[in-house]
Structure formats: structure tokens, C-alpha cells
Structure 1
């Protein structure tokens, strides 16, 4: 089981130069992703008078997030692994692909990157609101949790299949494209119900800047549960102990 591969890490690893560089890469890539994704919704609202809630706005959000995530993963993949998402980091941790201490640094960097992106958007747009994620009418908190679990399962399963699995071969640019595609597709599927976060950091930044915390727990619980299920299924069933290759830790 993947649980046997879990590593806590050492204080030396947490302050290692390469770890800090990786955390910085996560901060920058998350900032890029959230700035483009959140900014697209703000721009569509400005151009169409709250048009982000229309079908066209949903398609625009899907494209913006898919393209931005493709870039964000690509630019940080060789430095930090291109997580850009606390749920992906959590899934990687459960599979033994990242230590707990390194993962905590990633989480901090990702959340700070999201907050920084939202603050920059608010300043650059003359104080326009960076809207926090919210539930649509008729959608309960538990409905949204299930949505987030299923969508994040698909995302993290895709990450494992295209980027983590040692049998993946030379997929090259396919991994960032596939990850961007699944996020864009999930936004089309779930965006009208709960915003389709799949990423606690993406929800955290707007919540902090707008100071709106209603149902915010949904956007942590759902993605983390979905990521855990995907990691345990893929690592336990399709990778297994005989083929699992933990990331090198010799430098630490």
C-alpha cells in the first residue's frame, strides 16, 4: 500500500536550497495560474455585465484555466514537479513522492501565490472584487463536496497517469496538456454548481482578499479527499510496490 512510502522528511531537507527553489517555483506558477484564471472571470464580468455566470462565461473560464494551468505546470515541472495545487501535493505525499515537510512548504507557497495574484488583480483593476467561490442555488455543501471529490479525483488520477507513473515513458509535453484539459473539462461540468475549484489554493486567495469564508471548507475537504482516493487507487493498483520509484532523497 502507498501508506508505507510516506516520508516525514528532515529539517535539513526543509531548508535545503533546492527545496526552497522548488517552493518559490510553486509560488510563481500558482500566481500565474490564479492571475489568469481569476482575471478572466473579472474581465468577462466587466465586458458583459456579470456575464461570467452565463454559458459563454463558463466556456471562457474553462479555456482560461485550462491554458493557464498548462503553462503553470510546464514552467515549474522541472523545478518542483509542477503541482500548482495543494491537493496534487497531498496526493503526491500519500504516494511517497514528496515528504511531508516539503509538501507543507509547497502548500504555503501555493496559498501565498494565490493571495498575491488576487491582490495584484484587485490593485491592477482599480479595486474590482476578486469573488470567492460560492455554491449555486439549490446546491448544498455536501453536494459540492461530492462534486469536488469527483473532479479532483479525475485531476489527480491524470497527474499520476501522465507525470508520476514510472511506466509512463517519454510523454513530454503530454502531461501538462492532459492536466490542463481535465481541469478545463471539469469546469464545464461543475462550474455552474460550485465554481469547480479542485484546488484549495485557488479558493483560498479570493477568500482572503474578499474576506468571504462561506462554505470555504468545502473547497479544502472535497479536493483533499478526491486527491487521496486517486493517489491510493493509482499508486496501490497500477504502480504497486514492485514498480514504485520514490523521488530521489540522496541530496537531503
Structure 2
């Protein structure tokens, strides 16, 4: 019995059964499409067109990315979760919200979507306006290690907000709005430091076309480590503690519901005491439906 349960748990964690379903492949396709659309916006906003001295400002980029993330979650969230980010998929895997195979295929899909979305903008944009195609690089006055810490922090914040906004115990009608705002906030915070990627796929797509790989590892190590820390902090720190307290309260509530009604006990005690001349001791509950009434010279058991 224990062996079967363990085998079932392993199978569920790996996800061997769901790979055979149409729903699984629909969700993978949704990740490709949603990530591609996100990258189209990401690569378009910062472009510097000829005759226009202004490229996308920090506010424009933050709003553009915040809005597209919000829209993609609303459009694809019920299909795949609209994760669009390998770091988020790894976080969901650790939290046991998706299977191992789904996480692997999601990451492949997200990188493919980033490649397609970036490629579309690269193809349709004039060469003199392409520039770096929104490639993320660490600020020249910073070290790669500093850049990694920035990406770790930004992704930690994003993933922590995602877990909080999608927590089933909270009644948030539009978690997409909260998550989109978190993306915009983080871009405003870290764009001058590292470009505020928070997403390995987002950094990979443009880098392939413009062939800029300087400190590219930062955009994998930073976001993934930040996502892991956020997952551990939220699910195995705050939530685990809250869950234990909730279970204790729930158990106390269930136990209280099984106890005999106090008014019934009083009524039965009154009848019994009328037949006795001896002193009455306090009633004692001995099971869910039985209580014991003791007097100075006798003991009675009542079934309710």
C-alpha cells in the first residue's frame, strides 16, 4: 500500500500522465504565444526611430510591460497560468503547483516564444532603429555580482507577489492587476541597474538576434535564485506557519461541533437531579454523544 502511494506521488510529481492529454499541449502552446506577445511589446517600446530623439522612457517601458503582463494573464491564465517566465515555472514546480515535465516544457516554450517575439520585431524594424533590441546588460559601473543581486531581488519581489496574489485564501478578483503593477514597479526600480529583466527568456530572445552575450549568465542565475528564495519564504515560511494555525483552529471548531448541546445536558441533568436527594457533581463529557453525571453516591451515563 505504501509502495503504491509513493509510486503514485512520484508519477504525479513527474507528470507522466498529463503529457498524454490535449490539455497539456494546449497549455504549452499558450506559453509560447503569451511569451511571444509579451516580447513584441518588450522589444517595441524602447526602439529609437530615425528622426525621433526619444526612445521609450522608463515610465513607458514600465507601463507597457505591466499592461501586457496583465493582459496575457487575463487571456491565457485559465489555460496555462500565463507564466511566461522560466523563473516563475521553477517556482511553481518547487511549490508543487505544476509537474516536473510541465515545468520543463513550459521553459522550452517560453524561450521559444521569446525567440519568436523578438525575431518578429527584429524583422519588421528598420536596421537603423533596431539598436540593441531591448537587450539587457549590467550597468557598466556595476559588477556582474551586483547585477545578479539586483535581478535576484527584483525576481524575489515578483514571485512573492505572484504567490500572494494567487493565494486561494485571499479574495482578489484581479490578481493580474497586482502582478502587472509588480512588474511595472520592478522595472522602475531596476531598469538603470540591469534592465530589470526578472526573466531569463526575456533576456535570451533579443540576445540571439543582436549577439550580445555580455554577463548573460546574470539573467539566469539572478532570477532563478530569487524565485527559489521567494518560493521557500512564502510557501515554507509564512504560509506553512499560517496553515498550521488554521488547521488547529479548524480541528477545534470541528470538535466543538461534535459536543452535546449544553441546553440538552442541562435539561437531562434537571430531570435526573429531581429524583435524587444527594449532591450533584459537574457533568462530564466522555465521548461525542455521551456524558457522565456524578452525584455523591451514584453515577449515571446518558446517551444523547
* Greater fraction helix: 1
Q: 1:34 aligns with which of 35, 39, 60?
A: 39
Deviation at 1:213, TM superposition (A): 1.2
Deviation at 1:209, TM superposition (A): 1.6
Q: What is the distance in 2 between the residues matched to 1:241 and 1:12?
A: 32
Tell whether the 8 Å contact from 2:85 to 2:200 is kept in structure 1 after alignment: yes
1:83-98 equivalent positions in 2, closer than 5 A: 83-98=83-98
Q: What TM-score, normalized to structure 2?
A: 0.72
Aligned length: 232
* Relative contact order higher in (CA < 8 Å, ≥ 6 apart): 1
Q: Measured at CA, do residues 120 and 48 of structure 1 come closer, stay the same or move farther in structure 2, by a change above 3 Å?
A: same
2:14 aligned counterpart, secondary structure: coil
Deviation at 1:240, TM superposition (A): 2.2
Q: Measured at CA, do residues 166 and 157 of structure 1 come closer, stay the same or move farther in structure 2, by a change above 3 Å?
A: same
Q: What residue ranges of structure 1 are gaps of 5+ in the alignment?
A: 245-252
- For residues 75-100 of structure 1, what are the alpha-carbon distances to aligned partners after superposition, in whole Å with 9 as ceiling and x for unaligned? 11100112111111111111111111
Q: 2:18 aligns with which of 3, 13, 17?
A: 13
Q: What TM-score, normalized to structure 1?
A: 0.86
1:126-205 equivalent positions in 2, closer than 5 A: 126-127=126-127, 128-129=130-131, 130-163=133-166, 165-169=167-171, 171-173=172-174, 175-205=175-205
Partner residue, 1:72: 72
Q: What is the distance in 2 between the residues matched to 1:123 and 1:131?
A: 14
Partner residue, 2:123: 123
Deviation at 1:243, TM superposition (A): 4.7
RMSD (Å) for aligned C-alpha atoms? 2.1
Q: Measured at CA, do residues 120 and 71 of structure 1 come closer, stay the same or move farther in structure 2, by a change above 3 Å?
A: same
Partner residue, 1:214: 214
Q: What is the distance in 1 between the residues matched to 2:21 and 2:150?
A: 38
- For residues 27-63 of structure 1, what are the alpha-carbon distances to aligned partners after superposition, in whole Å with 9 as ceiling and x for unaligned? 1111111101211111x455643634xxxx1111111
1:51 is aligned to 2:55: yes
Q: What is the distance in 2 between the residues matched to 1:158 and 1:242?
A: 17
Deviation at 1:108, TM superposition (A): 0.7
2:213 aligned counterpart, secondary structure: coil
Deviation at 1:138, TM superposition (A): 0.6
Deviation at 1:172, TM superposition (A): 2.4
1:193 aligned counterpart, secondary structure: coil
Deviation at 1:212, TM superposition (A): 1.7
